Every structure is written in C-alpha cells, then in structure tokens.
Amino acid sequence: MKPSLKPRSVNIRDVAERAGVSLGSASRVINGAVNVTEDTRERVLAAIAELNYRPNHIAQSLRLRTSRTIGCMLTDVTNALYAALFRALEERFRAEGYMVLLANGLNDPRREIDILSTFRSRGMDGVILAPGNERHPEVVAAVEALSVPAVILDRDMRSNKDRVLFEQVAGVRQVTDNLLKWGHRRIALVLGQTPLSPLRRPMRRRIEGFRAGFAEHGLAASEDFIVCIDEACDSAFERVKRMLAGANRPTAILAQGTNILNECLNAINAAGLRIPTDISVVTIGDPVFARTYVPPLTTLRLSTQQIADASAELLLARIHGDAASVPPRTLRIAAEWIPRGSCTPVNNTEVACR
C-alpha cells in the first residue's frame, strides 16, 4: 500500500484567491493593518474561516524580514503611569498591525541588559525603552548596540536614538508658581525613587522645576520640604507624617501620583488635617481615583495618548525607512494642569484654585 500523501497546507495565496483580493490586501488584513476597506477585510476573514487558514508567523518573518512585534521595556508596569502608557502604546501599534511585548526592567541594570539582548535576538522590528539606569555604562552600551530602531522615553542618555521627553521642568514650575501666587510659601515636593541614588531624569527635572518656580518669585525652596523616598526601604507615610507634625508644616503638598500619593493622603488624614481647608494637594500624574477622591485631586497630567502617538511617529518612520538618513529626533510632551477641588489659596477656604 502506498503511503498517503500529506495534504498541502493552506497558504496566504489560497486565502487571497478565495477572497478575490490581491496578495498584499490579504496580508494587510492578516497582519491587522488599518489601511484596508471593510469589504476587503470581511472577504478575507470569511476566506480564512472557510479554508481554516493558520498563519505561519515564523515563515512570514523570514520571508518579509519583519516580526511585526515591538519590544517595550518599562521600569515597572505596576506604576499607574506606565500601566496606562503601555495600554496606549499597545492600542496605537495594534492599529498599525504590530504586537507590543512588555518587559519590566525593575531598576535592575543586569535585568535591563538581558532584556535588551533578548530584544535583539528575537528580531523585534523596533523597541521603546524607559531604562531605570539611564547612566549605567553597560546599560547605555546595550542601548547603543541595538541594531533596530529605538525610542527612549524621558531619559537623559547619551545616545544616537530618538527620544520622547516629558516637560517635567515646565510643568512643576507652573504648579509651584500657581501655589505661590495663592500665598503658599511652605510647599512640599514628595517623590518616589527606587533606588534612591542616582535620581532618574523625571525626579531631577521635577526638582529643577520646583526650585525654578520659587526662584521666579525671588524665593528659595526649602530643601527640608524636598522629599525623595526610596520606596524599597522607606515610607512616605512616616516622612510626611513627621513633616506635618512640625510647627511650620507645609500648607501644600505636590506628590508623585503613585503609592507615594496614597501614603501622603493617609498621612494627612492621620494628622487630622482637611483637604483643602488645612492643606492643599496636587498630584503629579492622574491616577484613576484622583477624580473621584473627596475632594477631587488637582493634577499635573501627562497624556499617555500623546506619548504613544509621538513614540509611534518616531519609531514607524525608522522602521519604514522614511527617516533612515535623519539625525536622532526628540519630541517633547507638555504636562497639563487640571484644577480640581484639592487646593485653595492659603488661609482662604472660600476661593477654589483656578
């Protein structure tokens, strides 16, 4: 008896022929691209179902020299800003037919170097990076060794890669200026950092903006009120609670909108102070609960959608070769002041901050 012949597997050409479309149109539908008509998409999807077609992504990658994947290394996606940012990046690149794969660097230089090595070996089409160790020589070298397009998020790195920077200085300076105009002089800035030293760009720039806001009013920020919490071994709750117990306690707190903010709010509550009657609060970042907190929290917000769009603009231009000869570019994202009910002019409970 002759051995039975193995049936020929269905390929993308069969799908295109059954759907009555070009090979390119079938490929765009399969890869999730948005630049196809709804009629074409429906016909291709119907053909895929009829033929029980299963794409061979390994073969596609070898043939097209693209994996349709973007590597994304953030410090820690449990950070509310990074979680929202990853969601925005995922949706933005999905619309272009790419899958975004997440890795958490966790501020560990060896882990970050290993992740970057994996991105290189897995054939990512491009990468988006927010290293926790922006000045570590081996991490910098690993970033420079990337042979695929890369975009660095809000880091001061000596690099030939494109960057998206957040306007931390201007944003915090605006908040400080507003609070000073409302009569606040004892303003605390509470930030979180792991590890505590060296400070990363966001923390350095926020402190710079804080001091600049005071300087514009001919004043000096109290260094005792600039609090950087090493979240691995310190507690914002205890530090802020001690600060609030002092004779010259702050009348306003500008707090990083992560766990640091929660601990600051708990410390204010433990001290028996009312927001905004006794103390004003502004959050850097806009956590989900900020709008429903009582009172709603005034915030300095960065648009994750703007960050995702800027990152995609830079990265896709490199991937498609449109910017092959263009020097590294930097796009800047401004922070937006969102006034709510958590701050008032000092010693004035009748006038809400504008």
CATH number for the domain formed by residue range(s) 69-166+303-335: 3.40.50.2300
Write down the pLDDT at residue 195. 61
Tell me the per-residue pLDDT of 21-63, one tens digit each, with 9 for 90 and over: 988 888 788 776 667 888 998 998 899 889 888 766 545 544 4
Tell me the per-residue pLDDT of 206-250, one tens digit each, with 9 for 90 and over: 999 999 999 999 999 999 999 999 876 788 999 999 999 988 999
Per CATH, the homologous superfamily of domain 168-301 is Response regulator (3.40.50.2300)
Q: Domain segments of the chain: what residues?
A: 12-64, 69-166+303-335, 168-301
Residue 203 has pLDDT above 80, yes or no: yes
CATH number for the domain formed by residue range(s) 12-64: 1.10.260.40
Residue 265 has pLDDT above 80, yes or no: yes
Write down the pLDDT at residue 194. 66
Mean pLDDT of all residues in 71-80: 92
Tell me the per-residue pLDDT of 99-157, one tens digit each, with 9 for 90 and over: 999 999 999 999 999 999 999 888 899 999 999 999 999 999 999 999 899 999 999 99
Q: Report the 3 state secondary structure along the chain.
A: CCCCCCCCCCCHHHHHHHHCCCHHHHHHHHCCECCCCHHHHHHHHHHHHHHCCCCCHHHHHHHHCCCCEEEEEECCCCCHHHHHHHHHHHHHHHCECCEEEEEECCCCHHHHHHHHHHHHHCCCCEEEECCCCCCCHHHHHHHHCCCCCEEEECCCCCCCCEEEEECHHHHHHHHHHHHHHCCCCCEEEEEEECCCCCCCHHHHHHHHHHHHHHHCCCCCCCHHHEEEEECCCCCHHHHHHHHHCCCCCCCEEEEECCHHHHHHHHHHHHCCCCCCCCCEEEEECCCHHHHCCCCCCEEEECCHHHHHHHHHHHHHHHHCCCCCCCCCCEEEECCEEECCCCCCCCCCCCCCCC
Confirm whether 69-166+303-335 and 168-301 share one CATH topology: yes
Write down the pLDDT at residue 353. 41
